[in-house]
Amino acid sequence: MNKYTAIDLFSGCGGLSFGLEKAGFDVRVAVEIDPSAVMTYQKNHPGTRVIQSDIKKISGQDLIQAARIGDACLDLLAGCPPCQGFSRITTRNRPDHNDPRNKLVLDFLRITKELRPRLVLLENVPGLSRTKLFSKLLSALEKAGYHTDWAVLDASDFNVPQRRKRLIMMASRVGDLKVPKGSGAKRTVRDCIGRLAKPRKAHDVLQKMHLKNSSRIKKMISRVPRNGGSRAAWGDEAQLACHKRTPGFRDVYGRMRWDDVAPTLTSGCFNPSKGRFLHPSQNRPITLREAALLQSFPRRYRFPPKLGLTIISRLIGDALPPRFGEAQGRYLFNFLISRQHFGGW
């Protein structure tokens, strides 16, 4: 079987790497600056060299040496540059926001030019597609000899039990390609977490880990109707003061629906005050294991409990859903096979 090489930049805790490995890629190197993400990545990808560093301090030559591929060409450079500066909430609240992390996309471009991999895969929030920075990225890649294509896709169309729109950009210097579309078949919250033990009866440490609310909040949660209900059921008088001041964000303290996909999991997905993150029928927020499964991580994926609720929730919420990454990876893997067999390098 062909074994194509890959490098994962901004790897986080390893969601994209896991998907690429499932698709058949040999992920040789991952680069990540966050020590908690690095710790989690190493526990799940012992065969990958992880470089804990600021990407700005990394050169293409550093990566080639770490990947141990000699004079061979890297097959795939993939990455998910931090996207907070392009997110819908950020741009809505501060339209002129100049987040320095935005420019990390240019470091992704720099390393692409230095390595000249056969294929490139970039994931980000849809908002990036509306920026001059994205136009600059596409133009630079095309000038460097790459064919490009991009699309905004919903992870729920790729067997991920979650509504999550993401920008996928692919580039190739070994032939024209097209970003693959999903099947549209949905995997529901019930399919994903419906058979899990209740936290107090679970043997899985992550299934025991969820936010412990105050008695007052627990009482309010119990009044949210089961299976998709919202805080609207409390009535105007019972709304929290912050909700009265800000009429938006109506999903906070909402429940997920059993027979629908979950909402987008964010870094605050452990906290019902951050979104529709209440269990469909139990009077509690979702657990860390439930969050990981809804993000499409397998049960065997290890998140060190000592990192705590807030950090693990952030790692899960910031990750690319592995099943989503696997779908893109399978397309690219098969594309390489077809080009090698019929077109050559």
Q: Tell me which residues are annotated as active site.
A: 83
* Cβ atoms within 10 Å of 63's Cβ, excluding its own: 22
- 139 Cβ partners below 8 Å, 6+ apart? none
Helix residue ranges, H only, 167-305:
189-193, 205-208, 215-222, 241-245, 288-294
CA 297/CA 269 separation, integer angstroms: 15
CA 118/CA 171 separation, integer angstroms: 8
The torsion angles phi and psi of 35, rounded to 5 degrees, stand at -65, -35
8 Å CB contact between 46 and 26? no
8 Å CB contact between 119 and 75? yes
- What 304-311 contacts at long range (C-beta under 8 Å, 24+ apart), as own/partner pairs, is 304/39, 304/40, 304/43, 305/205, 305/206, 305/209, 307/36, 307/39, 307/40, 309/209, 309/210, 309/211, 309/270, 310/270, 311/36
